[in-house]
Amino acid sequence: MKGRMILLDHFNGIEAAALMVDGRLEDLLLDSETAPRPGTIYRALADRPVKGQGGMFLKTPDGSAFLRQVKGLSPGLSILVQVSGYAEPGKAIPVTQKILFKSRFAIVTPDAPGLNISRSIRDDDLRDSLLEIAHDTMPDGDMGLILRSSCAVADPDDIADDIATMADLAGAVMADATGGAEKLTEGDSPHTLAWRDWVDPAQIVTEPGGFEANGVLDQIEMLHTVSARLGGGASLFVEPTRALVAIDVNTGSDASLAAGIKANMAAARELPRQLRLRGLGGQIVLDLAPMPKKDRRVFETALRAAFRADQIETSLVGWTPLGHYELQRKRARIPLTEVLS
């Protein structure tokens, strides 16, 4: 099946959204029945500092949260924080003080004034018209605004409405900073995230059973195994542990001199997709197929290009003395294994 398709359905009883491109599953968003969604905003209470880590545990209605890089915060004070990702099993909810109000066209940034436009919008006339909309719609004050790349093809009235809605929400939430621990806003659901972030033209399927009818369930079934084919007989093995995610690249039956670099280049292109679909983050270690050291730069360039197109924040750390490659990835998704269990 050619083209892009967005499917809004349920999987194992929870809300889910899938993005198919030419019949291939490219992204999968799953809700969590137990963990708070990223983007949730709390009025939390400072609990106790963590010596040596520069952080503090906070009290929230959903349990203990952990805030890094704390300055001037003493136990008992109330503070506004936003959930930044999913917690590792048995650990506190990760939160940040850098609160963002994100929608399809606009991102409102409290305490970070200024009007900014996505760098992917290069047309000067369009940028001027977007700035005019922002100046007319955005209220005066300390809040900033980022207009997303989706504004390039959007209706001006829709952009203005989106800005006004996010600005009103931001103003109401930021004014509610005092009091006991309370959840002020809920993070976006998978269906809302699909509307917000998958903005390229696509066929939208909302009928129940869309996952089964369009082959999404079959492709999710393939993610039950740790292996993924790379073509040419090569394969990728993705194995999460308590400490990290181990990635092993095998050349398979290919015995040519270029087998290693070919398998590693294919793995670089496929890795962001596998991590997205499996909902994996944290420390990631790549055990690559053997290749000459002179090919490392070519591999790094391919890996950097692959993750540049991925929306989840990923840091390419570099090579270890043993020749492994390390990455650090934000835990922005619920692990698929938790939904399948």
336: nearest Cα among 246, 253, 289, 276: 276
Distance in Å from the first CA to the final CA of the chain? 30
Decide: 58 and 81 in contact? Cβ < 8 Å: yes
DSSP conformation letters of 158-172: HHHHHHHHHHHHHHH
Question: What confidence score (pLDDT) does residue 54 get?
Answer: 77
CATH numbers and ranges of domains, the chain: 4-31+198-216 (no CATH), 41-96 (2.40.50), 101-188 (3.30.230), 223-340 (3.40.630)
The tens digit of pLDDT for each residue in 274-321 reads 999 999 999 999 999 999 999 999 999 999 999 999 999 999 999 999
Question: What confidence score (pLDDT) does residue 185 get?
Answer: 97
Q: How far apart (Å, rounded) are the C-alpha atoms in residues 38 and 113?
A: 23
Decide: 334 and 276 in contact? Cβ < 8 Å: no
With H, G, I as helix, E, B as strand and everything else as coil, classify residue 59.
strand
Write out residues in the chain with pLDDT < 50, as ranges.
none
Please give the structure tokens belonging to residue 287.
Answer: 């055990």
Question: What confidence score (pLDDT) does residue 88 get?
Answer: 85
Question: What confidence score (pLDDT) does residue 330 get?
Answer: 95
Question: What confidence score (pLDDT) does residue 183 get?
Answer: 97
Question: What confidence score (pLDDT) does residue 2 get?
Answer: 84
With H, G, I as helix, E, B as strand and everything else as coil, classify residue 329.
strand
253: nearest Cα among 222, 280, 289, 224: 289
Residue entry with tokens 């991590």: 275
Measured in whole angstroms, how far is the alpha carbon of residue 122 from the centre of its chain? Answer: 25
